[in-house]
Structure 1
Amino acid sequence: MTLSLEKGRLSDDRFIVTAELIPPRSWNPQPLVEQAVRYRGNVDAVDLSDNLLAIARMSPVVGAFFVRQVGVEPIVQINLRDRNRMGIQSDLMGLAAMGVKNITILGGYPAKVGTEPEAKEVYDLQTMELVSRVRRFVDEGRLFDGTLMEEKPIFTIGTVENIAGKPIKELIDRLEAKAEGGTDFVRTQLVFDMDLIGEWMEEARRRGLHKRITIMASILPLRDAAHVDTALRIPGIVIPDAFKKRLVQSESQEEGLSLAAELIGKLRQIEGIKGIHIRPIGGAENSVNKVVQLAGLKDARAAEIGA
């Protein structure tokens, strides 16, 4: 199963494009709505981050309500750092009531990397445990304590996977466990190293995981060399030196966009990768549409819908 959209389920051969939408550090939803409108027509859905980088922001559940009002499909992140199982169930029921159909479960960056390093982390459940509980929530319509709801909700369940830092076998063992637990789609951490993602996908294909779940690769459009240094502070990110060198040597202000478009082209050639997730971390929101266009993805979407 892949992402669920209001206009119908995506076909098996559709290359999916999503972008991260970062809620504001304010109660005012206007900036969020305006950004969603700018993305509309360029991406299939937006992923509303949940207190990204351990920084308090508007609830992604509330954000999803406003995003849907302007005709953009939301994917709502639920991080384990900030909620216990009761809070998670409340959010799930609220999302189902609003008609949101896609969620992403993730652990969340440690509190120490954010603006409130003394914040108490919850982690009431582990990621794979929550995936299994949400799978039952969807398939059987049961709350975590076994209570049967009047009607089953409709959700596709996503997770996030690291492709670096451990032997490939261990990383794919974890991916396989999530697939068996009920994950429908997965986005990788940010991809820059094609050899790394190539090895990861080779093992995933060997186990047939690319046929069981929808695998999407995440990218970050880089603005300049300084942006590389900022991105490298994010846990789990690996950026080859060649990227920074090319940005330093280039006279074009859009070299980072060209790099991102080239990455997308290469990723589309890897068997088993069904889509791309663009993460405009560090103030790169305005780059999303440009990258989609440079990579030829907008033209492909227009052709699919007969525009």
Structure 2
Amino acid sequence: MTILLEKGRLNPDHFAVTAELVPPRDWNPRPLVEQAVRYRGYVDAVDLSDNLLAIARLSPVVGAFFVRQVGVEPIVQINLRDRNRMGIQSDLMGLAAIGVKNITILGGYPAKVGTEPNAKEVYDLETMELVRYARIFSDEGKLFDGTPMQEPPQFSIGTVENIAGKPIKELIDRLEAKADSGTSFVRTQLVFDMDLIGEWMEEARRRGLHERVTIMASILPLRNADHVGKALRIPGVVIPDSLHARLAASDSSEEGLHIAAELIKQLRQIEGIRGIHIRPIGGAEDSVNKVVQYAGLLQSSTAAASA
């Protein structure tokens, strides 16, 4: 069953569960498909990253085609770093042709952090510009120059939001601007600090944004204390010292998974958060199913419904 991560289309009683799926550095889609199959029944959809960390990988559009063949719902990322508006329109038409209904628009990490530091960054459009174009593409069935297509493809359009690094007002101003541009759902940067996400959500609720967009919190299952330092290098990530100390003191290889499950349970109690997105960064793909199970989400993850 197709899930649309959009207000009015997502079952109001359903807590959505998605997981990031990183395409391989190879033309062979088999590892991607095999991982998607392992997630089946544990998550509502998988988010196919687009040249994650500025490293060339199999096209997420191609990956989405194969993932759908095994009955897994794909969400496809489109980064602004690598494509101009013509390339983006080609991808959107291709996604519509293979039946993809959810996309995530994001800027992408700078090329200098990846394997091709001298690659020219495109950034032909800004995030909110592309959201507006994609909304017209989706709802009115028009290309960016106004050319009509046969029928509107009806996408649910997502973006990514920071919850730290700037005053809360500025962060929520940006969220509100994206909602005004046509964003359907948002995913936060990785969440470890409940006070931080609580303040962010309080301001979002005050402006009624939780009623306009589907807000999902991103979770990273930490492997060990050393993994904390790597996660902190990601812009906008804040990890309380107490969690670092807990990992350092534990002799269990699954302590990080239990922490992730506990965070999810707390997030479910925050009004306005409608789901979680699990990002198994650094080769921790096998942790996703355990986190879903430990957090008590296994039954709800298969109960998604769209109007």
TM-score using structure 2 length: 0.95
How many residues align? The count is 302
Are residue 276 (structure 1) and residue 266 (structure 2) matched? no
- The answer on 1:221 being equivalent to 2:229 is no
Q: Aligned ranges for residues 123-202 of structure 1 at < 5 Å?
A: 123-202=123-202
2:22 matched residue in structure 1: 22
Q: How does 1:17-96 map onto structure 2 within 5 Å?
A: 17-96=17-96
Residues 89-137 of structure 1, C-alpha deviation per residue, up to 9 Å, x if partnerless?
0000000000000000000111111122111110000000100011111
Give the AA of the match of 1:292: V
Whole-angstrom CA distance in 2 between matches of 1:303 and 1:140: 30
The 3 A distance-change label for structure 1 pair 292 and 90 is: same
* Higher RCO (C-alpha 8 Å, min separation 6): 2
CA contact (8 A) 1:3 1:156 kept: no
What code does the residue aligned with 1:177 have?
A
Is the CA contact (8 Å cut-off) linking 2:44 and 2:304 kept in structure 1?
no
Structure 1 residue runs of 5 or longer lacking an equivalent are: none
SS in 2 for 1:298: coil
In structure 1, what is the equivalent of residue 235 of structure 2?
A: 235
Structure 1 position 303, deviation (Å): 7.5
Q: Percent identity?
A: 81
CA contact (8 A) 1:142 1:149 kept: yes
The AA in structure 2 aligned to 1:86 is M
* Paired residues of 1:221 and 1:280 also in contact (CA < 8 A): yes
1:299, distance to aligned residue in structure 2 (A) = 3.1
TM-superposed deviation, 1:239 = 1.4
Secondary structure at the counterpart of residue 166 of structure 2? coil
1:304 Cα deviation from its structure 2 partner: 7.9
In 2: Cα distance, 1:303 partner to 1:21 partner: 21
- Provide Cα deviations, 1:231-252, integer angstroms capped at 9, x if missing partner: 1222222212222111110111
Change (3 A) 1:116 1:103: same
SS in 2 for 1:297: coil
Two-structure CA RMSD over aligned residues (Å): 1.6
Q: Distance in 1 between matches of 2:287 and 2:26?
A: 23
| Residue identity opposite 1:109 in structure 2 | Y
- Note if contact 1:3-1:185 (Cα within 8 Å) is conserved in structure 2: no
Amino acid in the other structure paired with 1:185: F
- Preserved CA contact (<8 Å) 2:165 2:236: yes
Give, in whole Å, the separation in 2 of the partners of 1:302 and 1:87.
Answer: 34
Does the alignment pair 1:253 with 2:253? yes
Which amino acid in the other structure matches residue 291 of structure 2? V
Measured after TM superposition, the shift of residue 301 of structure 1 is 4.0
Shift of 1:10: 3.1
Q: Structure 2 vs 1, CA of residues 164 and 150 (structure 1 numbering), >3 Å: closer, same or farther? A: same
Distance 1:298 1:136, change over 3 A: same
| 1:11 to partner: Cα distance | 0.6
Gapped regions of structure 2 (runs ≥ 5): none
Given the two structures, how large is their TM-score scaled by the length of structure 1?
0.95
Distance apart, 1:265 and its partner CA: 0.4
Whether the 8 Å contact between 2:221 and 2:280 is mirrored in structure 1 is: yes
Q: Is the 8 A contact 1:83 1:124 kept in 2?
A: yes
Q: Which amino acid aligns with 2:53?
A: L
1:244-270 per-position Cα deviation (integer Å, ceiling 9, x unaligned): 111110111100000000000000000
56-65 or 231-240, larger mean C-alpha shift: 231-240
Equivalent position amino acid for 1:29 in 2 = P
Deviations 1:47-105 (A, max 9, x none): 00001111111000000000000000000000000000000000000000000000000
| Alpha-carbon distance in 1 for matches of 2:304, 2:174 | 35
Residue matched to 1:116:
116
Q: 1:137 to 1:194 in 2, by over 3 A?
A: same
| Alpha-carbon offset, residue 300 of structure 1 | 3.5
* CA drift at 1:9: 4.6
Corresponding residue SS for 1:137: helix
What secondary structure sits across from 1:118 in the alignment?
A: coil
Question: Do 1:230 and 1:282's aligned partners in 2 also have CA atoms closer than 8 Å?
Answer: no
Q: What secondary structure sits across from 1:188 in the alignment? A: strand
Classify 1:21/1:302 alpha carbon distance in 2 versus 1 (closer, same or farther; 3 Å): closer
**Distance verdict in 2 for CA 1:302–1:83, change over 3 Å:** closer
Contact 1:232–1:239 (CA under 8 A) maintained in structure 2: yes
Q: What amino acid is aligned across from residue 235 of structure 1 in structure 2?
A: P
